[in-house]
């Protein structure tokens, strides 16, 4: 045996929680300005761009709302 444990499935999302950034890949040693608000953060999104989790979730919510409105108004 290798002594390794199998990876657990991620827990189900909590209401209001869009992103799960507990993985170490979302952390960087150097702080850079968030792509949304401009304040420094050590967090990185899935494309390694600096972003606060809350800022990224707000951007997703805004894009979703805008797309739904555009669809509803026949713009898409």
Task: pLDDT tens for the chain, 76 residues: list them.
Answer: 566 777 666 566 566 667 888 889 999 999 999 999 999 999 999 899 999 999 999 998 898 889 888 888 877 6
Task: For residue 25, count other CB atoms closer than 10 A to its CB.
Answer: 9
**pLDDT score, position 19:** 84
**pLDDT score, position 4:** 75
pTM of this prediction? 0.69
**pLDDT score, position 2:** 62
**pLDDT score, position 41:** 96
CA distance 60 to 76: 18
**Is residue 5 in a domain?**
no
**Is residue 14 in a domain?**
no
Task: Tell me which residue of 31, 24, 22, 29 sits closest to 51, measured CA to CA.
Answer: 31
**2 and 8 in contact (C-beta within 8 Å)?**
no
**Is residue 19 in a domain?**
no
Q: How many domains does the chain have?
A: 1
**Is residue 39 in a domain?**
yes
CA distance 47 to 45: 5
User: Which domain range does residue 55 map to?
Assistant: 25-72
């Amino acid at each position: 045996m290798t002594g390794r444990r199998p990876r657990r499935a991620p827990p189900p999302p909590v209401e209001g929680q869009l992103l799960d950034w507990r993985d170490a890949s979302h952390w960087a040693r150097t702080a850079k300005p968030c792509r949304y608000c401009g304040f420094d953060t050590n967090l990185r999104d899935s494309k390694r761009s600096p972003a606060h989790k809350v800022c990224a979730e707000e951007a997703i919510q805004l894009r979703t709302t805008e797309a739904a409105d555009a669809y509803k108004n026949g713009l898409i």
